[in-house]
Chains A and B, each alone.
Chain A
Amino acid sequence: MRKNLNVIAAYSIMMVLIILVGVFQSWNIALSIFNMCLISAVMTMGANIQWGYAGLINFGIMGYTALGGLAAVLISVDPVQEAWSAGGFDILMCLWLIIALVLIIRFILKNFQKSKVRTYSIAALIISGIILIRFTAEPGIEAIEDINPAKTGFLGGFGLPIIFSWIVGAFFAGGLAFIVGKVALGLRADYLAIATLLISEIVIAIIKHEDWLTRGVKNVIGLKRPAPYEVDLQSTDWFITLVEKFNSGKLEVFSNLSDRQAALNQLVIEGSSIFVKLCYSGLFLTVVIILLILTQKALYSPWGRMMRAIRDNEEAANAMGKNVVKQHLLIFILGSAIVGIAGAMLVTQDGLFTPGSYRPMRYTFLIWVMVIVGGSGNNFGAILGGFAVWFLWIEAAPIALFLINFFTAGMSETHALKLHLIESVPYFRFLMMGLGLLLIMRYRPKGILPEKIEIK
């Protein structure tokens, strides 16, 4: 019971903080923080499954997030017909070539003994395959990228509702995790960390530079939304009536009809963006709750028990006949898939896909801070970590500004040091993250809400 009290207290404090932002700053800001907190929570749950359940380090969170985002683009954007007719054939040919190459390599690996000749022939096959693929793809890629480069210049997607991409994103990320896991999971913990970090950089490099698929650094904007658009809401009758009812108290003070109309318009504009954010909150909250139920069930199932056994003593679990390699791969895929969902959610919320914005600080290391701070191995802790760290990440600048003003109150407004400090306010968030992480690791190494397994 005490454990539950801790959880409830921690979450209540978090909610109160967000509500305070709503009261003192604005509800718009509070809701965008809340939405990002939810997305962060999904990411942390993914990382927590890998680290907390199985002890696997995945420093490639960024790569899976980006793949989820890519899924959002490929699912929701309408197909660019001219691009398909210009270069679609070449691209499809390449796809077949890649599949053929993989099948041939599989065939060789299965049917021939391990030998130097085999290794070299596979290497030769891969190199010649890559050259062949490049020659096949080149004209197609150029043709695709030439079609209206300012607006499209890529193949486009399937034109489906963007919500589907949340599932597809999970599959994309899971697929990559399958490959990475096959390749790298046997490595020592710190090598695994470095390898996954570097592989995620390769993924980002590809997404950034394969314009025919992703438009690269030209970004994809104006993705379809699962929620209504503000402009439409502002001219919808039921919404205006709703806002009117909601704010009847405020509106009563106006005696003049035109003043009242102006105030109402203002309220409708504000209300519309809050309404849209609430729609997102609802969607995201659903995802978080579904994932939470599933992960909690998994954690207390025989499977969860086995995972913890593997984490705590790999050799013993192996000796008990548990297939450690297979389970590690499975959990690596599951965790990454969840991160992929978060990536798709993120792009859905923003309505745009900007490959240049994927940086390891924001999408890998910050997520790790969330996992460690929240409490690894505990889903409630992971979600709380996502909330608390994201909240601090956003509110760090105002807090820093307040502190700087407080401590330099004696200085004149034009003092060089004060001006310099105020100019560097955005970077205090790094300082706070770092100090937060260091303090937690030192004094509460199991996180705010530590893992506690009850035996049922």
Chain B
Amino acid sequence: MDILNALILLLNYIFIPALTYGSQLALGAIFVTLIYGILRFANFATGDMMAFGTMVTILFTWYFQSLGISLGVLPTALLAIPFGILFMIIYMLSIDKFVFKYYRVNKSPPVQLAMVSIGVMFVTQAVVRIIIGPSDQRFFDGEKFIIKAREFKEMTGLNEGLALKSTQVITVLVTIVLVSLLFWFLNKTKTGKSMKAYSDNEDLALLSGIDPKKIVMITWIIAGILATIGGALYGLDKSFKPFTYFNNMLPIFAAAIVGGIGNPFGAFLGGYVIAFSEIFLTYAYKKFFIYILPESMEPESLVQLLSTDYKFAVSFSILVIVLLYRPSGIFKGKVL
């Protein structure tokens, strides 16, 4: 019984939150890695672009709510996401046209493009804050829990409760579907393969008749889909605050690099590596040990490796270690 309690404890406080957080990071990391692999620069506007897509989603959610449209137990935001994606893609394509294209055509060094992305970051941040403001926005509606901790306790007779939020299930399900679709697209379709080819060897791709303009456009479209959905899922699960989104750029970069930048599958796994290690290292295991150890050996301290204050620091340290020992990332394999 105690073993079961201990397992539920870990499931409830480590596994489920880490899986959810990891999925959100993974989507962002694939976004970073796609831009890096095909457009060849580190996009410092990542977090703010995600905030932009989420903002549009929120505005449409509010609009639908004011019209009385809802999805019943599901959050209305799911209905608004396609509109968020649409606006996001338009925004990204116009930024590409007016800003990035010039440097791409002139074959500027990646560092210069990264600097330009900082300009885009400032502008996007301003746009988001001017439109929706800098404060916290909650836009979740519908049924909050699938399993409530109390109900679970009553049902199973265990001491530990298991709470499963609907946003957690939605996040994981949507991520699985989206990522499977993406990998199918990249590995099985002709367009997807041509993206891989372009990322692998740009000149040869041109000589094979692959149209760079089309590749760039498709990249931004996919990036827009990933960024909006990733951002909206994060906002649904936690809350939407522009500054948090800007900050999320950092673990997202960490995930993309840990997975080997330019490699979407690595970025996908990298998201979970970062999320799990953050939560594993900062969880206080006291209760866990109380369940599994005999009474005489019960710990008195929190049994916490690092205080939760250092949550971000964990992922950054992992990144620094990876950069030092395996700059190509921990997952070997194909590019893109």
Contact = CB atoms under 8 A, between A and B. Distances in A.
Interface of A: 57, 183-184, 187-191, 193-195, 197-199, 201-202, 205-206, 208-209, 361, 365, 368-369, 372, 421, 423-424, 427-431, 433-435, 437-438, 441-442, 445
B246 A361 contact: yes
B324 A183 contact: yes
Interface string B33-61: 00000000110100000000000000000
B114 A441 contact: no
For B120, B122, B127, B312, the residue with the greatest tally of chain A CB atoms inside 10 Å of its CB is B122
A445 B250 CA distance: 27
A276 B281 CA distance: 49
12 contacts: A183-B324, A190-B41, A190-B114, A194-B42, A195-B319, A198-B254, A205-B313, A365-B118, A369-B122, A430-B126, A434-B120, A435-B119
Contacts of B111: 57, 189-190, 193
B316 A198 contact: yes
Nearest to B123: A434
- Label chain A's interface by main secondary structure: helix
A57 B118 CA distance: 13
Interface string B92-130: 000000010010000001111011101111111111011
B309 interface: yes
Nearest to B253: A194
B320 A430 contact: no
A184 B323 contact: yes
Contacts of A421: 130
A438 B120 contact: yes
A201 B320 contact: no
Nearest to A200: B316
Please provide the 5 A-B residue pairs with the shortest distance between their CB atoms, ordered closest to farther.
Answer: A434-B122, A434-B123, A431-B126, A430-B126, A437-B119
B323 A195 contact: yes
Nearest to A209: B309
Interface in B295-321: 307, 309-310, 312-313, 316-317, 319-320
A434 B121 contact: yes
For A57, A187, A194, A206, the residue with the greatest tally of chain B CB atoms inside 10 Å of its CB is A194
A202 B114 contact: no
B327 interface: yes
Given A183-B320, A195-B319, A437 B118 contact: yes
A134 B160 CA distance: 30
A193 B110 CA distance: 12
B98 to A, nearest CB: 9
Given A430-B125, A441-B116, 14 more contacts: A190-B42, A194-B42, A197-B250, A198-B319, A199-B320, A209-B309, A209-B310, A369-B118, A427-B126, A430-B129, A431-B127, A437-B118, A438-B119, A438-B120
